[in-house]
């Protein structure tokens, strides 16, 4: 795609903006431990980036559990909430620098997360982040979760732009496939939790959010729009 077409930016949340994947991993390890099962790396990679229902259904099918996914979600939420209250959550490297640059250029931005509204707000409120975004789409706002492109198509529609004019930041295979399927310029940020995954469909792959290459793309896009 032509970078001069970029008119808005969309962020995933978990593992992309904030280092919540280690908490999710610990929560799911505990869920499986209570059931005499192991939360393997293979299962972790399979559920990463999927909405809550899909994640729990996959765990149930993986081990032929008798649990209802709704009960597993309640149990998971309680464990996750305790971890957040006790330990907080850390922003991913380069987050605030990137947000500052986007805001300096007055580029619209949003969050598109597979998380629930409650936990999305809980995470964002730790740094009073919600007011910095034009809108936030969560699992409650969509019918089909990632890797379905619905959430990013909705984001482009809310911005009143073509999906090809949307730059998306993602960290999971499911999320990046959703962005790419929507036709967005897809930036994958590598970190410890996803460094073994493969992203041949990504428009760009970087190692932190404020990578000079991405800031350069946003700068050139901004300047060309102003001409």
User: Could you tell me the domains of the chain?
Assistant: 3-19+90-226 (3.40.50.1000), 21-87 (1.10.150)
Predicted confidence at residue 22, as pLDDT, reads 86
Backbone angles phi, psi at 51, to 5 degrees: -65, 160
User: Taking all residues of the chain, what is their mean pLDDT, rounded to a whole number?
Assistant: 92
Pairing of strands 166-170, 135-137: unpaired
Q: What is the mean pLDDT of residues 82-104?
A: 93
Helix, strand, coil percentages for the chain (3-state, nearest 5): 50, 10, 35
Predicted confidence at residue 4, as pLDDT, reads 53
Compute CA distances 38 → 32, 34, 82, 183, 210, whole Å.
6, 10, 21, 37, 36
Share above pLDDT 90 across residues of the chain, in percent, rounded to a whole number? 75
Is the model's pLDDT at 118 over the cut of 80?
yes
Tens digit of each residue's pLDDT (9 = 90 or more) over 161-219: 999 999 999 999 999 999 999 999 999 999 988 998 999 999 999 999 999 999 988 88
Lowest mean per-residue pLDDT among 55-59, 116-120, 135-139, 209-213: 116-120
Q: Is 193 in contact with 15 (CB distance < 8 Å)?
A: yes
Q: Cα–Cα distance between 56 and 62 in angstroms, integer?
A: 10
| Token pair for 28 | 């799911």
Predicted confidence at residue 1, as pLDDT, reads 47
Predicted confidence at residue 3, as pLDDT, reads 55
DSSP state of 193: T
Backbone angles phi, psi at 112, to 5 degrees: -125, 100
* Polymer length in residues for the chain: 227
Predicted confidence at residue 227, as pLDDT, reads 42
Tens digit of each residue's pLDDT (9 = 90 or more) over 27-65: 999 999 999 999 999 999 899 888 889 999 999 999 999
Predicted confidence at residue 50, as pLDDT, reads 84
Predicted confidence at residue 204, as pLDDT, reads 96
Angle (CA) 105 111 116, round 5°: 165
Nearest C-alpha neighbor of 118 from the set 87, 83, 152, 80? 80
Task: Classify residue 195 by burial, with Cβ atoms within 10 Å: 0-12, 13-18, 19+.
Answer: exposed
């Amino acid at each position: 795609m032509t970078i001069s077409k970029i008119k808005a930016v969309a962020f995933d949340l978990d593992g992309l903006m904030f280092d919540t994947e280690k908490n999710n991993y610990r929560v799911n390890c505990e869920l499986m431990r209570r059931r005499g099962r192991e939360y393997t790396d293979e299962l972790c990679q399979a559920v990463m980036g999927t909405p809550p229902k899909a994640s729990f259904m996959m765990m149930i099918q993986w081990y032929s559990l008798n649990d209802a996914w709704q009960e597993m979600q309640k149990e998971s939420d309680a464990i996750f909430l305790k971890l957040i209250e006790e330990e907080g959550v850390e922003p991913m490297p380069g987050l605030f620098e990137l947000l500052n640059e986007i805001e300096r250029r007055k580029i619209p931005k949003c969050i598109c997360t597979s998380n629930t509204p409650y936990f999305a707000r809980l995470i964002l409120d730790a740094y009073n982040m919600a007011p910095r975004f034009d809108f936030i789409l969560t699992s409650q706002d969509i019918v089909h979760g990632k890797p379905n492109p619905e959430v990013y198509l909705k984001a482009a529609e809310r911005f009143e732009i073509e999906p090809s004019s949307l730059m998306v930041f993602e960290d999971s295979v499911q999320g990046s496939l959703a962005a790419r399927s929507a036709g967005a310029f897809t930036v994958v940020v590598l970190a410890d939790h996803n460094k073994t995954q493969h992203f041949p469909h990504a428009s760009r792959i970087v190692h932190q959010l404020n990578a000079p290459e991405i800031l350069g793309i946003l700068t050139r896009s901004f300047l060309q729009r102003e001409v």
